[in-house]
A and B are shown apart, each in its own frame.
Chain A
Amino acid sequence: MTTHPNRRGVAAPVAGTALAAILALSLAACGATGGDRTPADGQTPTDDTTLTVPESTPATEGTVDPGDDSTASTSPDSDGSGDSGDSGDSDSADVDVTLDPGLAEELAELEALAEQIDQQLRDAAAAAANGG
């Protein structure tokens, strides 16, 4: 069976060579700026010879999506390792957060009222026991 070269078969090596050159330039550019990043997804070179490295802040790499849990960004393990969002979902600490902090205080106020009521009962008994 005879193989017939086609346009794709000819064009592929050419494109591969160009990509290698771009990558080389890209690496050189990264080395010059001291960065160690690769372009973000979807980032394309602006021309054939240079690659614009986005001025991204270091935080972009390790930031946890703030949409999942407002407390995650302050937790010690929110380093982008992916384990910050699933901690505490079902343990007692999370339940404690949902407990109304004023409840205990208001129960204490109720108890204070109960003590005052008890005092009134004792005063009433003291008066009634003596008549007159």
Chain B
Amino acid sequence: MKHTLRRHVLATGMACTAVVALASTAWAGDPDPNSKLEDARARCIEAIEVRQTEIGELSALAASAPQLTDSHEGTIKSFLSAASIGLAALQVEIEGDQDPAELREDCTAIFDDYRIFALRAPQVHLAVAGDREAAALAKAATLVPRLQEAIDAAAAAGEDVTVAVELMAHLQEALAHAEATLTGVVDTELGFSPEQWNANHSLLSATTSAIRAVHTDLQTAVSDGRAIIAELKG
């Protein structure tokens, strides 16, 4: 899937440039303008089809992600559905375009108005990742008292639990940091629009950094939890 996504993105990225170029040359006194126009049209339609496929894959991903909240899934379905309908309508327009300028404008809209690969796909992946992190943090929170009970039992039995106590403090610090970092991140990033991305191509950088930081915290918590168990087993 990853390779498929990259192939599509690379192909459509090149197609984007080529489509606009073809639409321009088709209109610039080319000896065979109709041929160039049809070539550009075909490339535009192909770009739409690739995006419709991606929308389908993103919809399936959202539908199959058990940790995605209903609210976030609803938001994703909404903007993907709107994009799919919009692109389908755009395709109809492109199929009817006889003026190279109109064709160029419609083809440009495929990218600027929808940003399926640059924005929507990362938004969905980041939402799935963020909600998965929220679920993981909830699960980790239930492990904390159980690990603490085990430490207390070991201490009551006369074991030296100094290291286990330090690891527990580190684990809890990581979880607290993760909770604070993740709060509101997915809600915010799902609200970003293609217009915002067009104005700021680093729009998702903060979201990506936050989710990556929470991922690191989770790994720390898992590592600390395992170390605590190893300590108690002696």
Contacts and interface: CB of A to CB of B under 8 A. Distances in A.
Given A114-B215, A121-B129, A127-B9, A95 B153 contact: yes
B208 interface: yes
Interface in B79-117: 111, 115-117
Contacts of B143: 103, 106-107, 110
Given A95-B153, A114-B218, A124 B233 contact: no
A3 interface: no
A126 interface: yes
Contact of A113 (B117, B132, B226, B233): B132
A118 interface: yes
Given A106-B139, A126-B9, A120 B157 contact: no
A127 B121 contact: yes
Interface residues of B, number: 54
Interface stretch (B10-18, B28-36, B70-78): B10-18
Contacts of A100: 146, 149-150
A92 interface: yes
B211 interface: yes
B122 A107 contact: no
A122 interface: yes
A127 B129 CA distance: 15
A32 interface: no
Contacts, number: 142
Q: Is the contact region of chain A dominated by helix, strand, or loop, or is it mixed?
A: helix
Given A117-B129, A124-B126, A130 B154 contact: no
A111 interface: yes
A110 B140 contact: yes
B139 A109 contact: yes
A118 to B, nearest CB: 6
Given A99-B229, A103-B225, A131-B117, 18 more contacts: A92-B233, A92-B234, A98-B153, A98-B154, A99-B233, A104-B229, A107-B226, A107-B229, A113-B136, A114-B136, A120-B126, A123-B2, A123-B121, A123-B125, A124-B204, A127-B5, A127-B9, A132-B16
Interface of A: 89-90, 92, 94-96, 98-100, 103-104, 106-107, 109-111, 113-114, 116-118, 120-128, 130-132
A-B interface, 9 closest residue pairs, ranked by CB to CB distance from nearest: A120-B129, A124-B125, A130-B9, A127-B121, A92-B234, A124-B122, A98-B153, A113-B136, A128-B122
5 contacts: A90-B157, A103-B229, A114-B215, A114-B219, A123-B5
